[in-house]
Amino acid sequence: MSDKLVISGLSKTFSSERGTTVALNDFNLTVGHNEFVALVGTSGCGKSTLLSIAAGLESHDEGRITIDGEDIISPGLDRGVVFQSYTLLPWLNTLQNVEFALLAAGKSKAEARDIAQSHLELVGLQGFENAFPSELSGGMKQRVAIARALSYRPKMLLMDEPFGALDALTRHHMQELLTGIWEKHRLTVLFITHDVEEAVYLSDRVAVMTNRPGRIKTIVPITLSRPRHYDMVSTPEFQHLQRKVLDAIRSESLAAASLQSALA
Amino acid sequence: MPQQNKRIGTNRRFALGGKISTAEYLGISASVFAVLAIIWFLTTYFGLVRPLFLPSPAKVISRLAELWASGQLFADLGISIYRITFGFLVSTVIALPIGILIGSYRGWEAAIEPFVDFIRYMPVVAFVPLTILWSGTGDAQKLLIIFIGTFFQQVLLVMDNVKSVPKDFLNLGRTLQMPELRILQRIVLPSALPAIWDSMRISLGWAWTWLVVAELVAATSGLGYRITTAQRFFQTDLIFGYLLILGMLGLTTDQAMKYAGRKLFRYLNVR
């Protein structure tokens, strides 16, 4: 497997009047071509910062981050981003929201319509082309956002806790939908989450981050077979992998807690 | 507890976040007007207040009918509506681009916002003598007062409207590699438009106040002018009549703009 996204020795410090915060320090991670990698960690560990840097929305201080060997210095159409907030434009209907991205990517009107239509079908939203975002549930909105990010064929997908605001049932549906799409079409994905079950279920590898300053603590390869089904969640193998990831995170949150009590 | 549920159900009109039908809403609003009108009628009918201070509804209506028949009412209304339309439009046309500019770019905000704030805190009434000195007592002075009273408020309102566009909307535009100006046109403006519409509706109400203030102090025509002359001749019925008309004009324009806003931005509440 060739490398798609390569992050080496990356560090990022935020400074404000209240002082400096080291968000990332010596962060190293490689995501292979058509690989699905989930990045998990406690809240505030810098995982969203990392995604912003990968998206080109945020700068970094040291180290390198490249996609197909090219340095990431700005946002670009080679990376599709799905934000946790739905970011559907409320004055455009479902179809127009997907078309919006395609037109920005330079597609003709007719092309944009066809591609948008087929991507709405891909996420199971045929029949909702004329619905406005205010008519859609959270899960449906996020499906449109995924369709939009996939529509212009980016080299990779960056997803920042995309299902974080959804209820448990909808979240499971979305995970199955995403796995289904991924297994059929294969795409490089970096998926940020704090939901361990979600990370294990979706990924080829789960990267666990340390507390701030964030770096990779350990990487757990997910050896579950594909295609994945939700029944797998209760298998001993799944449970074992989930345990491994959880233990790595827990030692981090325990460390954070003891640090806090030591300071107090 | 079932009793508890029943209580919340019956109190829904006056419960926090309670719901109400349009018919009920209109019924309650109309009742308030009706009750006030009845109180007014009874107070004058039984002579509880001297007619000089509070004329009867009948007298007010007959005075308005008289002014309508003579064409006076129409002339006063016409000139006042002309002034407010013109003053408000000029103010809005200039305030929109400036508000959008300083809401979008921090550099422009730093250049303009403190200055606008500075002027905004100067009482508009205090500008009346100055504007008369500058531009006499004609229409130009009325427009100037409406402008000073409305423009600076509008700029700040529009700035806030633009600023409250979600940051992720901008990020969406960036990840689509849209040029900055296009993000402004295609994402920021349409996103802020419903809120800007509301700001315009609110500032139109203030513009009415400043118009009448300007006409009260120095004018030879308009609703405010007629009210001042009426005071000189103790025509309380005329003052009341014109105040009612002003209230009615305000209520209708406000409702019309609200209605238009709901139609224009229907996509926000399709459900």
Give every CB contact of residue B254 below 8 A, 6+ residues apart in sequence. B201, B204, B205
User: Measured between alpha carbons, how far is A147 from A78 in angstroms, rounded to an integer?
Assistant: 15
Of A56, A90, A152, the CB nearest to B267: A90
Assign B7 a pLDDT band (cuts: 50, 70, 90).
low
pTM, two decimal places: 0.87
Residue numbers of the domain that contains B261: 59-269
Residues of chain A contacting B164 with CB distance shorter than 8 Å = none
Displacement of CA B232 from its chain's centroid (Å): 28
* Residues of B (116-175) whose Cβ lies below 8 Å from A: 166, 168-169, 171-175
Dihedral in degrees, nearest 10, Cα atoms B226, B232, B233, B239:
40
What pLDDT does residue A263 have?
66
| Token pair listed for A32 | 């292979």
Is residue A84 within 8 A of residue A191, CB to CB? The reply is no
Is residue A156 within 8 A of residue A98, CB to CB? The reply is no
Name the strand (E) or helix (H) holding A217.
strand A216-221
- Is B50 among the domain residues? no
- Is the same domain home to B36 and B70? no
- Per-residue pLDDT averaged across A87-112, rounded? 96
- Is the same domain home to B148 and B239? yes
**How does DSSP assign A150-214, residue by residue?**
HHT--SEEEEESTTTTS-HHHHHHHHHHHHHHHHHH--EEEEEES-HHHHHHH-SEEEEE-SSSB
Q: Is B108 on the interface with A (CB under 8 A)?
A: no
- Is the same domain home to B116 and B220? yes
| CB pair distance less than 8 Å for B176 and A105 | yes
Residues of chain B contacting A100 with CB distance shorter than 8 Å = 176, 186
Query: 3-class SS at A40?
Result: strand
- Is the same domain home to B70 and B183? yes
Q: Is B262 on the interface with A (CB under 8 A)?
A: no
Residue A19 pairs in a beta bridge with A16
Q: Is B8 on the interface with A (CB under 8 A)?
A: no
Residue A38 pairs in a beta bridge with A191, A206
CA angle B13, B16, B17 (to 5 degrees): 80
Per-residue exposure over A181-216, b if at least 16 CB sit within 10 Å of its own CB, e if not = bbeeeebbbbbbbbbbbbbbbbbbbbbbbbbbbbbb
Q: Among the residues of B138-222, which ranges form H helices?
A: 139-163, 167-175, 180-183, 189-217
Residues of chain B contacting A56 with CB distance shorter than 8 Å = 174-175
Chain B closest-CA separation from residue A263 CA (Å): 35
- Is the same domain home to B168 and B220? yes
Please state which of the four CATH numbers 1.20.140.10, 3.30.360.10, 3.40.30.10, 3.40.50.300 is assigned to the domain occupying A3-78+154-263. Answer: 3.40.50.300
* Residues of A (59-118) whose Cβ lies below 8 Å from B: 75-77, 79-81, 83, 85, 87, 89-91, 93, 100-101, 104-105
User: Measured between alpha carbons, how far is A193 from A43 in angstroms, rounded to an integer?
Assistant: 10
Here the ipTM equals: 0.90
**Closest-CA residue in chain A for B187?**
A89
Interface contacts (A, B; CB < 8 Å): 66
Question: pLDDT digits over A188-230, tens only?
Answer: 999 999 999 999 999 999 999 988 888 899 999 999 999 999 8
High-pLDDT (> 90) share of chain B, %: 80
What pLDDT does residue B1 have?
44
Question: pLDDT digits over A5-30, tens only?
Answer: 999 999 999 888 888 888 999 999 99
Name the strand (E) or helix (H) holding B237.
helix B236-264
- Is the same domain home to B40 and B77? no
Of A83, A90, A131, the CB nearest to B168: A83
High-pLDDT (> 90) share of chain A, %: 79
Q: Domain locations in chain A?
A: 3-78+154-263
